[in-house]
Amino acid sequence: MGLIEVVIAVGLLVTLAAGVAHLFALSARSLVRARHRTSSLLLAVDKLEQLRAGVRTPRTAMGPLETRGARIEHLDIDGRLTGRGRPRSGSMYARVWSVGAVPGSNDVLVMWVTVAPIRPGAGGRNAGFSLLETVMALALTLLVLGALFELARPAAFLNQFLPETANVQQRLRHAFDRLHTDLLAAGRGTVLVSPGPLGRFLPPVVPYRLGLRAAAWEHRRARPSALTTLSVSRTSGSETTILSPIAGPAPVVRLDPGPGCAPPVCGYGARDLVLVFDEHGAWELFRVRGTGAMTLALERAHATATVFAPCAVVAPIELHHYYADTERVQLRHYDGWQGDFPLVDDLVDLQFRFFGDAGAPGCQGPAPPAVGGPRVEIGLAELTDGPWCGPAGLPFDADLLRIRAVAVDLRVQSAVEELRGADPRFFARPGPAPGERGLVPAYAVSCTVAPRNMSRR
């Protein structure tokens, strides 16, 4: 609603209120006048009765009736005599009376009594404001209020615009921090047992989902808005080797109490995610179901049947899967098992692009050959066409081992539709707001991250 509409509406309301107020004022004034007329009549009748009786009473100093000229008495609000002549304090009514003979006849007397209020404003014309005065006062008030409303409009605009702008920027900053932190750590490997980066035998970054909820064909369904990173955890259990083989979907394995692996179970706990790999390049993700005395009860995260012999390495692993949920308009995070939670709302764009070494791909072993040449962009089609590496049931495209850097494009919009305009340059999902002033555009950030554990050696 514009200022003119507000002024017109308030003007109509003020006019109506002024008329109603004036009616109330007239009604109150009429009641006061009626009261004074009634009181005056009663006081006049009382005086007439006194004069006719011709007796001395507390209200008059007269004795037996005789002819007198005009006299003035002053009475309070209850009709008690307060004095004669000039008004006294507390006087409310003036009573003027006289007694005289009719000219030409000494047998007929005329008694005349008049009572009227003497308090200023007790019933006179100045007992309130006129309609004209009321309307003028309200008009001036309306003008002042209109000016105040106009001055308050920028404050109301800032009260909505600034918090929403800060909210959009904060959501964008949070999403960027999470992606940047986990991408930098991608490929971090073991340091105590079989030290080296994870890229020796598995891809630390893949454009699809890994974990319990991953479909069997995920490795063939690369998406530009999805990314999974793998890195050995530094805050969970300890790296060690196993003393018993791993076979079946839910094995129980004994741990070797080597360096850094303190009893009773090397720092592992239920629901931890662990990585098991061997020197032949076989690997799999497991979840800890329970712990015992230097034993772990495990559960496979993928539908594989890979068997691991004693001396295979077990290490705590961090899996972070980020993806764009177009239906909920959210950036979501999946932890590899059951936890799938929203990270940022009102996400309008998320794109990942991959850069790496040029040259023919190959499945790397414990001692990968150096790959030379400049970094080139690797398309999603190249990451899903083979050749295939990895264990049975968990294959991956060999081109994934070429990745050395990941470019991220992230864009977040305002959650308030009324603050989004129609210009597609600034609003990925346009809103109904007209004009360009006072709108919150979609904010975007782009960066390229080269994880140190995936760099060329």
**What does 152-172 look like in DSSP terms, one character per residue?**
HHHHHHHHHHHHHHHHHHHHH
Q: Are residues 174 and 113 in the same domain?
A: no
Q: Are residues 413 and 335 in the same domain?
A: yes
Q: List the one residue out of 363, 314, 326, 322 whose CA is nearest residue 343.
A: 322
Q: Are 406 and 448 a contacting pair, CB within 8 Å?
A: yes
Q: Are residues 106 and 184 in the same domain?
A: no
Place of tokens 């404001």: 129
Amino acid at 441: P
Q: Are residues 234 and 337 in the same domain?
A: yes
Residue span of the structural domain in which 52 resides:
3-117
Residue 65 counted as domain residue: yes
Amino acid at 175: A
Q: Residue 427: what pLDDT? A: 84
Bridge partners, 378 (sequence order): 354
Q: Residue 314: what pLDDT? A: 95
Q: Are 55 and 80 a contacting pair, CB within 8 Å?
A: no
Q: Are residues 436 and 304 in the same domain?
A: yes
Q: Are residues 100 and 220 in the same domain?
A: no
Place of tokens 């047992």: 193
**Residues contacting 166, CB < 8 A, separation 6+:** none
Q: Residue 366: what pLDDT? A: 38
Instruction: Provide the CA 263 distance to its chain's centre, in angstroms.
Output: 48
Q: Residue 14: what pLDDT? A: 66
Q: Are residues 203 and 83 in the same domain?
A: no
Q: Are residues 189 and 51 in the same domain?
A: no
Q: Are residues 226 and 338 in the same domain?
A: yes
Q: How many CB atoms lie within 10 A of CB 37?
A: 14
Q: Residue 20: what pLDDT? A: 61
Residue 232 counted as domain residue: yes
Q: Residue 373: what pLDDT? A: 60
Domain final residue pick, 86, 117, 148:
117
Residue 78 counted as domain residue: yes
Q: Residue 424: what pLDDT? A: 80
Q: Are 210 and 239 a contacting pair, CB within 8 Å?
A: no
Q: Residue 81: what pLDDT? A: 82
Q: Are residues 72 and 199 in the same domain?
A: no
Q: Are residues 446 and 324 in the same domain?
A: yes
Q: How does pLDDT run along the chain (457 residues), one tens digit per residue? A: 555 665 666 666 666 666 666 666 777 777 778 888 888 888 888 888 887 776 444 444 444 444 556 788 888 888 888 888 777 777 888 888 887 766 666 666 778 888 888 864 444 444 456 666 677 777 777 777 777 776 666 666 667 778 888 999 999 999 999 999 999 999 999 998 989 999 988 999 999 999 999 988 888 899 999 999 999 999 888 999 999 999 998 999 999 988 888 888 999 999 999 999 998 889 999 999 999 999 999 999 998 999 999 999 999 999 999 999 999 999 999 999 888 999 999 999 999 999 998 876 777 643 344 445 678 999 999 999 888 998 888 999 999 999 999 999 999 999 888 788 888 888 888 787 776 666 888 999 999 999 999 875 4
Residue 149 counted as domain residue: no
Q: Residue 449: what pLDDT? A: 95
**Structure tokens, 18:** 């002024």
**Structure tokens, 14:** 């003020």
Q: How far apart are CA 148 and CA 244, in angstroms?
A: 81
**Structure tokens, 329:** 């308009």
Q: Are residues 194 and 262 in the same domain?
A: yes
Residue 67 counted as domain residue: yes
Residue 239 counted as domain residue: yes
Answering whether pTM is above 0.75, one says no
Helices (H) and strands (E) in the chain, counts: 2, 20
Residue 131 counted as domain residue: no
Q: Is 414 exposed, middle or buried (0-12, 13-18, 19+ CB in 10 A)?
A: buried
Q: How many domains does the chain contain in total?
A: 2
Q: How far apart are CA 337 and CA 286, in angstroms?
A: 10
Q: List the one residue out of 106, 69, 68, 72 whose CA is nearest residue 86.
A: 72
Q: How far apart are CA 81 and CA 94, in angstroms?
A: 10
Instruction: Give the burial string for 160-190 (b: 16+ CB within 10 Å, else e).
Output: ebeebbebbeebbeebbebbeebbbbbbbbb
Q: Residue 57: what pLDDT? A: 41
**Structure tokens, 237:** 């259990």
Residue 270 counted as domain residue: yes
Domain final residue pick, 117, 146, 180:
117
Q: How many CB atoms lie within 10 A of CB 439?
A: 22
Angle 227-232-237 from CA coordinates, rounded to 5°: 135
